[in-house]
Amino acid sequence: MDAAALWQRYQDWLYYHEGLKFYLDVSRMRFDDAFVQKMQPSLEKAFKQMDELEGGAIANPDEDRMVGHYWLRDPELAPTPELKQEIINTLKDIETFVQKVHGGEIQPPGKSQFTDIISIGIGGSALGPQFVAEALASDFPPLAIHFIDNSDPSGIDSVLNKLKDRLSSTLVLVISKSGGTPETRNGMIEVKTAYESHNLKFASYAVAITGKDSNLDKFAKSEGWLATFPMYDWVGGRTSEMSAVGLLPAALQGIDIRQILAGAKEMDAATRKHQLKENPAALLALSWYFAGNGKGEKDMVVLPYKDSLLLFSRYLQQLVMESLGKEKDLDGNIVHQGIAVYGNKGSTDQHAYVQQLREGVPNFFATLIEVLQDRQGTSPQLEPGVTSGDYLSGFLQGTRQALYENQRDSITVTIPEVNPRTVGALIALYDRAVGLYGFLVNVNAYHQPGVEAGKKAAAAILDLQKRVMQVLNEASVPISLSDLAQKAGKPEQVEAMYKILRHLQANGRGIVLAGDLGQLSSLKVSAS
């Protein structure tokens, strides 16, 4: 396509939102008018399904749940007056609590002010708050946030060691809908132990964000924690950033949460339109469908050209892959749907994997995130008339052009600057695009059976560990792995048992593996 035709295509397919100063360019996705026409009936059906979802229809049939994270940014849309009031009240409760913390009305024992936050959560209870903190928190926030988002002991130690001199002024947020998520529970117990080892009463520092009447809710109230905030049954973890999960930590860091909600609400309104070219989420969903032939045949590479948006690709990994990565469609057919997401920041990728993107396997489409404002204030000139921001802009345009020249498609998302309103809009845009795409390919975008299967498998391993230790503690002499498996009643699990024992021995947990480690059949096991 020559330059004049490309310019015309750019004009034809450029979306612009006046209120948000937001641009979406899908002109470098090489679909044609025939493809758009073919997809029109499917789009119309998806628009209708999205309307029904927002109206309170059961959109997650596996769990018989509504899906209502859209109501969080516009309570007027909630299907009942009770839900509307609950959303409004929770937001007010968050703001009141934060004002009291910032004003010193809620303070740690013996201190005048909280200085830091430890946020304990995993998956959607961590990725959204981490992304927003990286994108929006000031260099010197009223409370600095630290995350425990894994069950890695050394990672937990790293956070606690950094805060050892400020633990007595550190607020702890424990985030878990069920209250039984193992990684979050583990982190809470480890942090609680650390506080108690410093003679600090954990309840005086702790806040729960959890489902009503969950185990965590009951535990927090019985121990007299500082506060509890709700996680709603109708909000999934990966779409919970605009619930207490994301709003409370953001507000504590001094981020304007009303502006996050306002930006999301404005983007939601734009993405309710049933006209393709007036709906940016539909343009994204259509582009994803085209790129992967409706089967996820190509990966989504996300390249934000702004340091503060570094974690956006990680946030989108969960949102897109957990929502769309499904074995079966809504009719029970085996479809193996999904879109793989990965990314880093531009222009870092000029020196990393753009080489492969341009000349290697063409198994992807790129999403470039552009921010028009370089920085607050003026920039020094590196050479006459050229700033570092000009270079960054040039790298983005150069990458887009280099990819297109080699038949690699790309989408460009442009925001005026990184602020609470534009970040809220970005989150809402991809929320809506995922929902529409899910309807286009007929999958349930609001459950995660694969995640639940992994949790069950992990629980089975821990149960096996208990069986193994019981057998070893009762044995009077060292025994072979095969004998151990037989005595534990799990002969088919000998490999898993070996890995359990190897882990326990490496951590000084009273296990002795004797023999040639290269000949596993010769090993003898005992409990020391």
Catalytic residues: 322, 351, 455
Query: Hey, what amino acid is at 425?
Result: A
| Residues 173 and 119: beta-carbon distance below 8 Å | yes
Measured N-to-C along each axis, helices 280-291 and 257-270 cross at an angle, to the nearest 10 degrees, of 70
Strands (E), 178-231: 206-210, 227-230
CB burial string 449-483: b at 16+ within 10 A, e below: eeeeeeeeeeeeeeebbebbbebbeeeeebbbbeb
**For residue 15, which phi and psi values (nearest 5 degrees)?**
-100, 140
CB atoms within 10 A of CB 489: 9
- As a whole number of Å, the CA-based R_g of the chain is 26
Which residues, in sequence order, are bridge partners of residue 412?
25, 368
Residues 6+ apart with CB under 8 A from 385: none
Two tokens at 457? Answer: 């498998």
Two tokens at 364? Answer: 């992807």
**What is the C-alpha to C-alpha distance for residues 311 and 347, in angstroms, rounded to an integer?**
15
Helix, strand, coil percentages for the chain (3-state, nearest 5): 50, 15, 35
Instruction: Provide the pairing of β-strand 58-60 with 65-66.
Output: antiparallel
**What is the C-alpha to C-alpha distance for residues 325 and 314, in angstroms, rounded to an integer?**
16
**For residue 524, which phi and psi values (nearest 5 degrees)?**
-120, 140
